Structure 1
Amino acid sequence: MVVYSDIDLLVIKRGDFNSHQAAGNRYRQLHGVGRAVDIILVNPEPVEQHRHTHCLIITSALREGREASCAAAMPAR
């Protein structure tokens, strides 16, 4: 197993929300995990729109990342 220096999370959340408050809630939930955590919080629409744009973090997160949990799956493209 490879040990990484931090945890990068792409959180896809539907609906209207305050992104600062929602990200803050995630950071509080992850307090004490023993690693630095970076969170990117987005709506599904930009993910769908930019999923194949090579220079955005969304693309590499979808390609290289692992799904940690899912309340409702996004349609495959």
Structure 2
Amino acid sequence: MDPLPDPVNKPEHYKLPNGVEVIDITENLNFNRGNAVKYLYRAGRKKSAPEIQDLEKALWYITREIQRLKEEAKNV
């Protein structure tokens, strides 16, 4: 018998086919990079979120990370 879906603790739209959850990857990245990965993975998988919107969110976090790195390089 399959366990009941758990959208809070184990959302299906963040679960890779091999059972690994995206959070297991993103916890090893900084905030911007982790969120970019999260939105890239879930794009087209979460029924209530448009695919393009998730891709735009991923791009927003990537752009923010690039800006952060450029600012950091200026201060070195």
TM-score interval for Structure 1 and Structure 2 normalised by the shorter chain: under 0.3
How high is the TM-score relative to the length of structure 2?
A: 0.26
How high is the TM-score relative to the length of structure 1?
A: 0.26
More strand by share: 1
More helix by share: 2
Max Rg structure: 2
Identify the structure with bigger relative contact order (alpha carbons < 8 Å, sequence gap 6+).
1
